[in-house]
């Protein structure tokens, strides 16, 4: 089964964001794909996980290989496969804040003040629309949870923190 989403169509933004968290060329085949499970689309590259809540009848349940994912087109093909268990990874974090524009600086800056670091590239990937209002939840050393609504659907990104000893950093 082949599925295509074009820019401007409902669900395009949510599906394209989910596709960003697939790992290209990894030997662990399942993390190169997108899982459709009921109302959830899920992907992970091992360092981040993207989850979109979409209408349950949008895609047949199963694992999809990403044929193409760019700013105007997403193409998926249904394949056989087993996806990693993902539900247990979503953190239940206590601290949260809202971020509008500038999104990347807001997220990185507030987390840095809490001694939490995440990949700036992963945050930049999510900066797709100045109109989106994001909620960021965190509790070190647990993963950081970013969430927003896209096309009236919930989108969440779970980012693994970069762990290091802040006391040993010397700036010269």
Mean pLDDT of 48-53: 92
DSSP calls for 7-54: TTSTTHHHHHHHHTTSPTT-SSGGGGEEEEETTEEEEE-SSEEEEEE-
Predicted TM-score (pTM) of the model is 0.83
pLDDT tens digits, 138-170: 887 788 999 998 877 899 999 998 876 656 666
Digit-coded pLDDT (tens) for 112-144: 888 888 888 899 888 887 788 889 888 877 889
Element (H, E) at 136: strand 134-138
Q: How do the domains of the chain map onto residue ranges? A: 2-88, 91-168
The answer to whether 145 and 91 have CB atoms below 8 angstroms apart is: yes
What per-residue confidence (pLDDT) applies to 27?
A: 56
Mean pLDDT over 71-82 rounds to 90
**CATH architecture assignment, domain 91-168:** Roll (3.10)
Mean pLDDT for 37-41 is 93
Report the percentage of the chain scoring pLDDT > 70: 89
In the prediction, which pLDDT does 42 show?
A: 94
> Cα(99)–Cα(93) distance, rounded to whole angstroms?
16
Q: Is the dihedral of CA 52, 100, 137, 165 positive or negative?
A: positive
CA–CA distance from 30 to each of 17, 21, 65, 136 (Å)?
A: 18, 12, 9, 27
Most confident of 5-19, 36-50, 87-101, 154-168: 36-50
CA distance 14 to 48: 16
- What pLDDT, on a 0 to 100 scale, did the predictor assign at position 9? 85
CB atoms within 10 A of CB 142: 16
- CA-CA distance, 155 to 71, in Å (whole number)? 18
Query: pLDDT tens digits, residue range 79-113?
Result: 988 888 888 888 776 677 788 768 888 888 888 88
């Amino acid at each position: 089964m082949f599925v295509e989403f074009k820019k401007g169509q409902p669900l395009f933004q949510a599906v394209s964001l989910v596709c960003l968290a697939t790992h290209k060329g990894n030997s662990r085949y399942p993390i190169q794909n997108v899982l459709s499970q009921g109302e959830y689309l899920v992907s992970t590259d091992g360092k981040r996980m993207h989850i979109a809540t979409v209408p349950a009848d949008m895609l047949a349940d199963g694992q999809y290989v990403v044929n193409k994912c760019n700013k105007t087109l997403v193409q998926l093909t249904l394949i056989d496969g087993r996806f990693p268990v993902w539900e247990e990874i979503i953190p239940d974090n206590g601290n949260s804040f809202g971020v509008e524009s500038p999104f990347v600086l807001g997220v990185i800056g507030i987390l840095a003040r809490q001694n939490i670091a995440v990949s700036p590239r992963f945050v930049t990937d999510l900066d797709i629309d100045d109109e989106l209002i994001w909620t960021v939840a965190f509790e070190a050393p647990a993963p950081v949870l970013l969430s927003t609504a896209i096309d009236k659907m919930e989108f969440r990104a779970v980012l693994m923190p970069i762990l290091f000893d802040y006391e040993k950093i010397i700036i010269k």
